[in-house]
Amino acid sequence: MDDRHVKRYEDLAATLRRRIEDGTYPAGSQLPTVQQLTEEHGVAVVTVQAALRALRREGLVDSGQGRRSRVLGKRVIISHSASYLAQDGDGRQSLTWAQHMASLGMRGDQILGHVGEAPAPEDIAEHLDVEPGDPVILRGRDMIADGEVVELADSWYPLGIASGTGLAQRRLVRGGLPAVLAERGLRAVEVEEIVTSPVPGPEACERLRITPDDRVLCKVRVYYAEEGRAVAVDVSTMRADRHELRYRLPVH
């Protein structure tokens, strides 16, 4: 990519960014088509496409194959690490996805995917201390904010923990993992989180309506009970333009 092309798409991106910020293109509205932008600004199609990709990476617009770019609102999903571990007096998870979204002024929904036994992938098997391919319980969900899928959440459990419980059934589980662990006489005493920013694969691109150029955050959370036994692994693939992870940790 030569310097002139870079400057042209950066200039166009700056122009569109100013129009979004000053309300010329308000949140929820559609930007002009690629053809309209090429004619208005006297640039090539590839320049317009590069400018739109830059705005999408910044979380300002949402676009996809065959549809016009839409201006996103500024609302970002802020997640505090402790919020997913908080429990009420009965040992139940106190903050649901819908409640979390409501606290941020958004409507939260979720769609269940595969729920039931599945072979453990190699990385999950390592965390759960089973052999790759051994049966475990998988609970997959598409997490939705204001009608848009913003996170893919896959939870993996050992058979001895989840079999015969609501975690292995296609229904919402009141109290979530803490309640199920309490029924087993267990509780999570430690959590490890691993956060990476991989290139999204084809399935993630399709379900999150993004492209391989977009950024995602992948958060792997491993729950440990007493004696270091792993009792669950959550794998969350999140649109980076819609999520902000915050951590407040004690200083030792």
Q: What is the pLDDT of residues 156-170, one digit of tens each?
A: 999 999 999 999 999
Whether 102 shows a pLDDT value over 80: the answer reads yes
Over the chain, what is the mean pLDDT? 87
Whether 27 shows a pLDDT value over 80: the answer reads yes
Whether 76 shows a pLDDT value over 80: the answer reads no
% of the chain beyond a pLDDT of 90? 56
DSSP state of 166: G
Q: Which residue has the higher pLDDT, 233 or 69?
A: 233
% of the chain beyond a pLDDT of 70? 90
CB 247 within 8 A of CB 85: no
Considering the entire predicted model, what is its pTM? 0.71
The pLDDT of residue 89 is 44
Q: Which residue has the higher pLDDT, 166 or 76?
A: 166
Gap between the Cα atoms of 205 and 202, Å rounded? 5
Gap between the Cα atoms of 199 and 49, Å rounded? 19
Task: Determine the Cα angle at 231 with ends 138 and 187, to 5°.
Answer: 130
Averaged pLDDT, 242-250: 85
The pLDDT of residue 143 is 96
Q: Which residue has the higher pLDDT, 236 or 99?
A: 236
Whether 215 shows a pLDDT value over 70: the answer reads yes
Whether 57 shows a pLDDT value over 80: the answer reads no
Among all chains, which residue has been given the structure tokens 């419980």?
165
The pLDDT of residue 139 is 97
The pLDDT of residue 5 is 65
Whether 237 shows a pLDDT value over 50: the answer reads yes
